[in-house]
Chain A
C-alpha cells in the first residue's frame, strides 16, 4: 500500500504550509511513530510521523511553501 502525505489543513482558515526539514533521506525507511518531516503551518509547527513502517519518496522541497492538500511525499508500507 502506498499513500501520499499532503499539506494538512490546520484550521478553518489555513491555506498553506512550508516544508521546514526532512528527517529521512529520499528512499529512506522509517518506523511507525518516527518523524518524516517538519512542516510549518499558519499557527503551529508540526512533525509529521510515520503512521506505519514504510519507505519515503520525497516530492516537496525544503523552504518551499505549498497549498493545503499539495503532496509532500509518497509513503509505501513495509511489513
Chain B
C-alpha cells in the first residue's frame, strides 16, 4: 500500500530497517558503556536515525559521506560493516582503522565513508574537495556533508558553502539540527529561525524539513542529490530531529527543554515509523523480523569485536607516514634517500621563484592529477612574486583554481581532492595566514592517514611563502612557523634555500604520498642559479653539505643558509674552517648528516629564522647533547629570531632576525671555546 504523497510501504520498510540497525548498533555501544565493559566518550545518535536512513536510499555506494563524532547513524547507513564499527569503537585491530581512530574517527573508503571528525565544522571544507574531484572527473559522485546545528556557526561553514556555490560542486550540505550544540540550545546560538535560510547568502537552494519524517527527508534529499548529480550544484538541507538524550553518554539533561524532550521521546521516530508500517499493512511479524535481525547483527558484531585482538605496540608507528622511515630518528644509520647526480643535465640560469614555477609546469604537464588552488594564483595576477604566472593560461582555470580568501576551504578542498586521487597543491599566501586554517592542516591533513589506519591518505603539498626579513612586513607577515608543523606527527616540512632545491624538492613533495608543507622564502626569490632544465627530484630527508669544514658545524635551513655560507667564508679568513649543513627538510630529518658532521667537528651552532625559544634548534641541540655529550668540545649554541613579534621599523627588525654579524660572533666564540 502506498500512502498519498509518500513512499510506498516497501521503501519505508527499507528505511525502517536501516533505522533499527542504527538503533541496535547504538544500543549495544551504550550497553558496553553502561556495564563498564568499555570506557570512552560517546555521543549517541538517538533521534537522528531517520536522516541518513532516508538519504542513503538515493545514494550510490561510491558517493561520499562525511560525518562528525555524533555519526554512528551516518556510518551504519552508508554501509560500513557493523563488526568493523564495533571493533573500532573497542579499539581492536579488526576495526575500520585498526583501533587507531576510535568512535570519533570511523572511516571506510570502500563504501565512500571518507571522514568522521571530532572537530565541529571540519567536514565542510573537506567536502568541497571531494566535490571538486567528482566534478573534475565527471564521475557523477555526490558528496553528503553532515554536520550539526552547532557547526553552522563556525567559520568553516561560510567558507565552504561559498566555495561550493562558486564552483558549483555536487554537495548536499546536511545540517542535522538536533536543537543543541553540546549544552547550548539552538535559540541561544543564533537569531535565525533555521539554518536553511542561510543558503540564500550563498545563492544556493536551502530547505528545512522534519528530520524525523522519512517521507520529508527522502523527498528533499532526492531533489538535492539529483541536482548535485546532474551538475546543478550544492544544496543546504536542514533536517530537524530533536536529540533524545544529553550531549554524551552519561551526561546530564538539565540544559534541555524537558517538554520538548518528552515530546520527542514519545513516541521516538523509530516507534512512529514502526506504527506507520503496521498502519500501511506491513504485518507485525514482518516488522518484528526486521527488529530481530538488526539486534542479532549488532550482538554478533559485539561478540566478534570482544574476541578480536588489540593492536600490538609495533602498530603505534605504522600509518603516521606511508613509510615509517620518515619518522624522526627512526632510520638508524640508514639514509632515507640518495642525493641525485644532476651534473649531466642541461641547465638554464633562473631565479628561485622561476624554479618553483618550472616545477609546477613540469608536474602539471606530466600528471593531470596535479591541481593548484589558492588566492590570486591564476593569471593575470599569477600569484605573489608571479610564482604561478602562466599556469592557468596553459592548463586552464579548472586545474589552477583562484580561490576566495578562504584558507580553511582552500586547504580543505585540497584534502578532499587528495583523498579522491588528486595531487593538489594548495597555496597559503604567507606563512602567517596558516593560523586561520591550522585545524585543517594539523588535525586533518596530517592525521587522516593515521586516524583511518592507513585506509585514506592526504598527498597534498601546502605551499606557502615565508616573508621574513624582506623588510618592513611587520608582525603578521614575517613569521617562520615551520616548528609548529614539525611538531605535528604526520606532516613533512620542507624549506628550500636555493633555486635547484626549490625545484627538486617541490617535485618530490608533489609526488609524495604524505602531506608536505613546503615553505619557500621571499628573501630568496630573486637569487639566481644554473638550474637543471628537465624535471628532477631531490629526495625529502637528505640534508646537503653546502661547505666541507673541520672546525665547526653550522646547521641551518631556508634563507639563513645564505648568511651562514657568507659567514663561513669570513670565518675561513680568520682561520676557522666551518662546515655548513643545510637541512632542507625538518621532517623527514637527516639526522645522520647532522650527527656525523658534529661528531667530526665537535662544535656546532644552529641558525634559523624562527623564534629561537622552543625553535627547531632546541630539538637538534638537545639531541646532539644526548648522543655526543662526551665528545663535544663546546656547548651547542643556537641563533634564531629574538623573542619579540617581528617589528616593522628596520632599526628594530635588524635586531630581530639572525644576521651575518650575529652568526659570525656565535660561530667564532663556539670555535674558540675552550671551557
Contact = CB atoms under 8 A, between A and B. Distances in A.
Given A49-B31, A51-B31, A11 B248 contact: yes
Interface string B284-311: 0000000000000001000000000000
A5 B250 contact: no
Contact of B250 (A4, A46, A52, A75): A46
A72 B36 CA distance: 10
Contacts of A5: 35-36
Contact of A10 (B28, B250, B299): B250
A32 B37 CA distance: 16
Interface size class on chain B is 10 to 19
Nearest to B252: A43
Interface string A1-12: 001111111111
B250 A6 contact: no
A6 B246 contact: no
B154 to A, nearest CB: 22
B203 to A, nearest CB: 42
Interface size class on chain A is 20 to 34
A29 interface: no
Q: Is the interface of A mostly helix, strand, loop or mixed?
A: loop
B271 interface: no
A44 B250 contact: yes
B36 A6 contact: yes
Contact of B251 (A4, A43, A49, A52): A43
Interface string B482-516: 00000000000000000000000000000000000
Interface centre among A10, A41, A49 (most CB of B within 10 A): A10
Contacts of B393: none
Interface in B521-555: none
Contacts of A68: 36, 39
A48 B34 contact: yes
A22 to B, nearest CB: 15
B249 interface: yes
A3 B251 CA distance: 25
Contact of B41 (A4, A7, A11): A11
A27 interface: no
A51 B248 contact: no
Contacts of A72: 36
A69 B38 CA distance: 9
B251 to A, nearest CB: 5
Interface centre among B34, B246, B251, B299 (most CB of A within 10 A): B34
B253 interface: yes
Interface centre among A8, A12, A52, A75 (most CB of B within 10 A): A8
A9 B39 contact: yes
Contact of A41 (B37, B39, B41, B250): B250
Contacts of A4: 36
A25 interface: no
B33 interface: yes
A14 interface: yes
Nearest to A46: B34
Contacts of B250: 8-11, 14, 41, 43-44, 46
B251 A44 contact: yes
B36 A7 contact: yes
Interface string A33-71: 000000001011010110110000000000000001100
Contact of A8 (B28, B39, B246, B299): B39
24 contacts: A3-B37, A5-B35, A5-B36, A6-B36, A6-B37, A7-B36, A8-B35, A8-B36, A8-B39, A9-B36, A9-B40, A9-B250, A10-B250, A10-B251, A14-B250, A41-B250, A43-B250, A44-B246, A44-B250, A44-B251, A44-B252, A46-B250, A51-B28, A51-B31
